[in-house]
Structure 1
């Protein structure tokens, strides 16, 4: 009887269930979207109960679609949208408020207050993260401050404050386990990446009691068991948890120091494995890659708020494309001499600028700028932003980047991939496998359970290579134009 590994990838736009066979090949996938709750301030939320219901449903749908016995599934791995945070009642398991999504900058005033106390450098030195509303701490603090009675309940230890992985583990195990892994913990802005513990002093700055935070567990550790509300006759162990970008780093096989990947999702994570010792950077942050076999590895990472979401904006809000597939052909058809740039600072700018007050702008248009040129500017803004981060990483790490491994839906766009290689001046490797975040968590779980071999499980992934073709002076002129456009939106 075939033994399967189940992966759940809970992302910003939806939830996927992924089924892998005994050699790590993806053989079936199902997914469900969830609502994006956005108000007139641009604040972004998700309904945690909808996410949990969808998680159970996509697994049911997967088993039906694949026509397998649920009990042939041996182990579960979970990858999740990071930084998105929520607070729920320990006794009832009910959220006290919606999950606040990583894109949402509503915690800016909380961070500004901490900065005025002169604590920003301390937060950065201990957590590896620039003080920012992007991370989970300010989001949780906002909930505790703005939901009636929440702070008091938290102080009494009656609430769970966590990220999406810990929420799913809690719900899937029937409230028996409240755990998070090292990768997710390191993205909350409350975890000391050197002592590898929740930092009491940092948590006090945000008025978040450490007793309300999850137990930090090895990424390949044991997170309890689940039967998916009776779907399985025998509960399946949860043996792998990774934040989505860390999952993609692992799924890409970036296991050695100096290897780098970019995930093109709603936003983007550019992540470099820097080995077993942390390093500091002024422009990007330091986090934990994972903890495996009891040992941690560190990463440098830059995060961008709007990359794939730019394409969604072109389609749903501007309504100048009907599908993402149109963007490549329109960009190719656009006037190559057009100087239009889109700086998509819809909710501020992340790395390497860290300006949460920046506003989006379309810059450099002429009278001949039309639909195709606007689409090209939107598509190219993705590559420009990623190049900014790559350059910062090379400078601060002292490591020369040999290639960029990429994943995510937009990597199917050959125009974007070629432009990315041209602007960054490095080869870009696109894997044959999709869903690298889910693959990483599933492989982690499969290795933990003894079903996969660490050295061989990645060998089935083939890659398409893009190499730089753009003439040097053309590239310099384009990139200088981008830097000028960014300078128009910065508020400091």
Structure 2
């Protein structure tokens, strides 16, 4: 065996655990973030009533445990020195403090319940968070839980706190996640705001402790993993993990993750910007330093393709739908407003519903499929333009970026190149931040050289065509939202 091979055989490993909305992904990496093994487990969601989206907490936990158990043998005796856990942001639940048994389903970020809780929160008070009054965030859901179930002996939190608690690392979260709740002030990241908690009628004592994003965060254990104890060295919101996994670790870098929705984050350094329709959010707390990002969510993207193919039956599955979209030159005049879960940034219209317009007798499923891809690309352009800053490059990741047509449409509508990196930037970012937390990297900026882009896609449309198409889109979106408001 060569000296290099001997070094590789003894080099440390790091684990990334990504609790996504539709699937749990786990990957084992070496210290250079080269993937050794991975596993994926789907997670079901249910819609028990209009506006309600739920998951089974035990199913999510089992998916994590099972996926980790699958990749552990690939370590082949090498030490796993760190794990990073990311999760689906604003989703919340309640569970028993003694047994860990769920007291509620996971109330998923797309869920609309509890929005009336904002009626009791003064705009000036909510302004501390930098967030709009939208049920997307955790506080109204947590408020609904406190009013709907017996909270005696219970704990509240986001999914990371539940998983950490059940796997032995304690009832804790991080500042990036807390910044998504509407219970943490921008001026005091890392602490719950007592006045906000009182306004939403959420007892602080039931909420998890807020720890830094990276560092010594405890140890993960489970009987199915044998006697292996995995040091937890990063815990972070999923989109912030994707920001790190895209290499967007310096101010001015911007990424978009295309999954159930599309989430755009622009790194803003140590400044929390409040001068745009996008929302300021904590990127991470690491090494005593808090860094921020601007965030804009398109709540319906992959979910739109799932609905069109599954519920409406336009194709066998989302991949077949995107293949169908590529068979036509354009949408044939069809327009889609992708708002199955409301319209997020920059509109912030939680009451919005999806719209399909421009149907004629000549419309085919291919035209609707193409209009859906057009709509996703337009909505991402809406968000990026709302940053107020010129961009030279967008870094993209997520499952939908495997579709070449969507990538080309996105570059054309932005008028700038896009860089495609790892499809699984989220789980990679969780692992990368764990390397920082374990002291194997000095800080998050050291991730950038480890995460090169795999492809650069250039725009092909003229500026005149792009301007005309964007103008037509804005007019359609405005009309569609106005109709829904009537």
Question: Considering the TM-score relative to the shorter chain, is it more than 0.5?
Answer: yes
1:456 positional shift = 5.4
Matched, 1:122 2:116: no
Aligned with residue 160 of structure 2, among 161, 165, 173: 165
How does the TM-score come out when normalised to structure 1? 0.92
* Unaligned 5+ runs, structure 1: none
Q: Deviations over 1:198-244 (max 9, x none)?
A: 11111111100111111111111222112222524242210011111
Write the mapping of 1:72-111 to structure 2, written as runs, cut at 5 A: 72-111=79-118
Q: Is the 8 A contact 2:331 2:371 kept in 1?
A: no
Provide the residue aligned with 1:139 in structure 2. Answer: 141
Provide the residue aligned with 1:20 in structure 2. Answer: 29
Aligned with residue 14 of structure 2, among 5, 22, 32: 5
Provide the residue aligned with 2:240 in structure 1. Answer: 246
Write the mapping of 1:451-466 to structure 2, written as runs, cut at 5 A: 451-452=440-441, 457-460=447-450, 461-466=452-457
Q: Which moved more, 1:41-50 or 1:471-480?
A: 471-480
Provide the residue aligned with 1:233 in structure 2. Answer: 227
Provide the residue aligned with 1:41 in structure 2. Answer: 50
Q: Deviations over 1:279-319 (max 9, x none)?
A: 11351111100001110011111111101111111221112
1:250 positional shift = 0.8
Instruction: State how far apart, in whole Å, the 2-side matches of 1:198 and 1:227 are.
Output: 28
Q: Deviations over 1:50-95 (max 9, x none)?
A: 111111111111224x3734x6222111111110011112122122
Instruction: State how far apart, in whole Å, the 1-side matches of 2:231 and 2:434 are.
Output: 9
Write the mapping of 1:2-401 to structure 2, written as runs, cut at 5 A: 2-64=11-73, 66=74, 68-69=76-77, 72-111=79-118, 113-114=119-120, 119-123=122-126, 125-147=127-149, 149-150=150-151, 153=152, 158-173=153-168, 177-196=170-189, 197-229=191-223, 231-336=225-330, 338-394=332-388, 399-401=389-391
Q: Is the 8 A contact 2:87 2:238 kept in 1?
A: yes
1:371 positional shift = 0.9
Q: Is the 8 A contact 2:270 2:292 kept in 1?
A: yes
Q: Deviations over 1:372-430 (max 9, x none)?
A: 10000111111111111111112xxxx32121101000111111011111112221110
Instruction: State how far apart, in whole Å, the 2-side matches of 1:471 and 1:236 are.
Output: 52
Matched, 1:489 2:481: yes
Q: Which moved more, 1:226-235 or 1:295-304?
A: 226-235
SS of 1:301 mapped into structure 2: strand
Q: Is the 8 A contact 2:330 2:370 kept in 1?
A: no
Instruction: State how far apart, in whole Å, the 2-side matches of 1:465 and 1:401 are.
Output: 15
Q: Deviations over 1:310-367 (max 9, x none)?
A: 1111221112122333344422322426221111211211111111111211012232
Instruction: State how far apart, in whole Å, the 1-side matches of 2:323 and 2:354 are.
Output: 25
Instruction: State how far apart, in whole Å, the 1-side matches of 2:82 and 2:70 are.
Output: 18
1:457 positional shift = 4.7
Q: Is the 8 A contact 2:214 2:235 kept in 1?
A: yes
SS of 2:234 mapped into structure 1: strand
Q: Is the 8 A contact 1:363 1:485 kept in 2?
A: no
Q: Is the 8 A contact 1:327 1:379 kept in 2?
A: no
Q: Is the 8 A contact 1:361 1:489 kept in 2?
A: no
Cα distance change, pair 362–385 in 1 and its aligned pair in 2 (3 A): same
Report the aligned-residue RMSD: 1.8
1:177 positional shift = 1.3
How does the TM-score come out when normalised to structure 2? 0.93
Instruction: State how far apart, in whole Å, the 2-side matches of 1:407 and 1:462 are.
Output: 10
* Unaligned 5+ runs, structure 2: 1-9
Cα distance change, pair 205–35 in 1 and its aligned pair in 2 (3 A): same
Matched, 1:411 2:401: yes
Matched, 1:444 2:446: no
Q: Deviations over 1:436-462 (max 9, x none)?
A: 111111111112213346565543433
Instruction: State how far apart, in whole Å, the 1-side matches of 2:326 and 2:47 are.
Output: 33
Provide the residue aligned with 1:476 in structure 2. Answer: 467
